[in-house]
Structure 1
Amino acid sequence: MTVLVITGTGTEVGKTVVTAAVAATAVAAGRSIAVLKPAQTGVGPGEPGDAAEVARLVGGAALTTLELARYPEPLAPDTAARRAGLPPVRPHEVAEAARKLAASHDLVLVEGAGGLLVRFDAEGGTLADAARLLDAPVLVVARAGLGTLNETALTAEALRSRRIAPLGVVVGSWPRDPDLAARCNVADLPTAAGAPLLGAVPEGAVAAGDFRLRAGDWLSPRLGGSWDAAAFAADIR
């Protein structure tokens, strides 16, 4: 796996912190990492975006980050580009940039904006299109609580309709005090996704001073960590 596409079931589900956790775990294993953000929205010139936040969380390790486009308003990339009078990002440009980074890095993480089918351009290009061009696996970041099963199932169905199999699901922010729905969803998310649960990043992880050291505790061996889904499920019953 040289390119991994990371998408969410929606906005504010924890894509960036999961991207950082995957990056930190890979760096700890001695791998060279690049993080590609095709379209950064809602951030002005000179302000840190999602790629910069990944670099901050990973720490002092050598990490290549690249944004293809930045739009000031917090909207879907196509809408934000149109309103700003700036050119959109197109799926083939995302794929080309990822391939170039993959030529000099062990792993390239492509972090989307919002959900899988958020439009990049007026022609309806999406992150899913870029993933298909790259023939890359897609990691789905989901919420913990009520409603996440439907969102996850829809995302997985959209992937499969494009002949892209989801690699797995990671809960982007596992609550300190999970309610009944969240606890049940640990067992039900793999069924909804048709793919394994590959981790759960704890709520407030971005504030942890030892994020880089602990990241592997939140991700399964498939992502380079030591997290065990069965043990996690047993602990929260």
Structure 2
Amino acid sequence: MDYARKGYFITGTDTGVGKTVVTAGLTGVFRHHGIDAVAIKPVQTGAVIKNGKLIPEDAFFYRLAADLPQPIDQLNLYRFVPALSPHLAAKLCGEKIEPEKVVAFCRQTLLCHQLTFIEGAGGLCVPLSGPNFTVADLARELSLPLIVVARTGLGTINHTVLTVAYAKSLELEVAGIVFNALGQQQLGPAESDNLEIIAQMTGVPILGILPHLSRVNVEGGAVEGLLEAVEESVSWSQLAPWLKPKA
């Protein structure tokens, strides 16, 4: 199975850079254009308890933003309350993340849909079950190209260039970078230069710049304007040229 033609692995330069927003937005846009797209979060830390149930907020956000019909258990495998690295969160909860189960969960989803977006946890070096099974190891097992989500502001040159360099050192394909403006209302000269320099230093396509979306919030389940922003600002149609989105 050529999984690379079935999906993308979405990673970030750090935690909190907007991977979940980008993942949900891309999924929703493709679904809006008639493509059977889905988003999954194999391992979620920082899950919350609501009405006596443990809820993986990222997967729940996918359902809201992309109007996914799948139950949460089909979008998330492991979930833990501690907002920590997955290997430690699992240990503190008396559990162990099994790499084989994570890989099988992802592959099953890839087989069942035209396009699957798989969101990692934090950045590429984050241990899922320990040093021998990281986010990068999962992406490599799945043979999926990466979409890197990065900040636009100060520090992003170093973080983004290092992320891309590490991915390439593992022979992972980097399909492109999506920049997330986060709290910045407008991009100044420094932010614009950051993007240009990163493109030159990495040789990786810039897929777009997601503007600051004040009415989008993962924890609050607010999705207003997300799909419209992704459709207008991200080169989403270039990600799946083998599919034929409806006009």
Q: TM-score range by the shorter chain?
A: 0.7 to 0.9
Tell me how far 1:104 sits from its aligned partner: 1.5
Which ranges of structure 1 fall in alignment gaps of 5 or more residues? 226-237
Q: Which residue, 181, 186, 191 being the options, matches 2:195?
A: 186
Q: Deviation per CA, 1:96-142: give whole Å up to 9, x if none.
A: 21211122211111101111110011343112111111111010000
Match of 2:91 in 1: 82
* 1:222 partnered with 2:231: no
Of 19, 24, 28 in structure 1, the residue corresponding to residue 23 of structure 2 is 19
Q: CA RMSD in A?
A: 2.1
* 1:1-237 equivalences in 2 (<5 Å): 1-45=5-49, 46=53, 47-58=55-66, 60=67, 62=69, 65-90=74-99, 92-173=100-181, 175-204=184-213, 206=216, 209-220=224-235, 221-223=237-239
Q: Distance in 2 between matches of 1:173 and 1:62?
A: 30
Cα distance change of structure 1 residues 67 and 94 upon mapping to structure 2, 3 Å threshold: same
What residue number does 1:229 align with? none
Separation in 2, partners of 1:192, 1:147: 15
Distance change >3 Å, CA 172–CA 161, structure 1 → 2: same
Identity of matched residues, %: 33
SS of residue in 2 equivalent to 1:171: strand
Whole-angstrom distance in 2 between the partners of 1:103 and 1:179:
43
Matched with 1:235 is none
C-alpha distance after superposition, 1:184-232 (max 9, x if no partner)? 122122123321100111112625623334421121132369xxxxxxx
| Aligned 8 A contact 2:26 2:227 in 1 | no
Distance 2:147 2:132 in 1: 21
In structure 1, distance between residues paired with 2:103 and 2:37 = 16
1:61 Cα deviation after fit: 5.0
Q: Distance in 2 between matches of 1:98 and 1:48?
A: 16
